[in-house]
Amino acid sequence: MLTKKGKYGLKAMVHLAEAPQDNLISVGEIAKARNIPRKFLDNILTDLRVAGFVQSRKGKGGGFCLAKPADQISIGNIIRSLDGPLAPLPCASKTGYKACEDCIEEDCKIRRMMLEVREAIANVLDKRTLADGYSDY
């Protein structure tokens, strides 16, 4: 499930994608426009900066902008950076794989189904970029 952190991060990234390129947007402006708690947004934008999705400048006239063009930033990668793997179970994850202690993987029908779910989610989210137009978010 997408967490509030992931949802708010996507909303902030969409806001930045809709701004003129290299135009710095303040945290306060994003928070107000997208109805996101400012302190929470500060932390989210820090995580997005560390992940290489946004750039920032402090001080008067400072703010945030996308670090690369919107068509080069996949929705799937934003979610992974904020919420972790897309898979509903760790045993179905490509990036955060962890074996279950209570089953035999080769025989586990639940794992096979969750691998399918993970692929379906990744196929949708990894094909979409910020440039795809999400103005309703």
Domain ranges (residues) in the chain: 4-70, 73-132
Reported pTM:
0.87
3-state secondary structure of 74: strand
Determine the pLDDT at residue 21.
Answer: 80
Class of CATH domain 4-70 = mainly alpha
Residue pLDDT, tens place only, 13-56:
999 999 988 789 999 999 999 999 999 999 999 999 999 999 99
Burial level of 61, CB count in 10 A (0-12/13-18/19+)? exposed
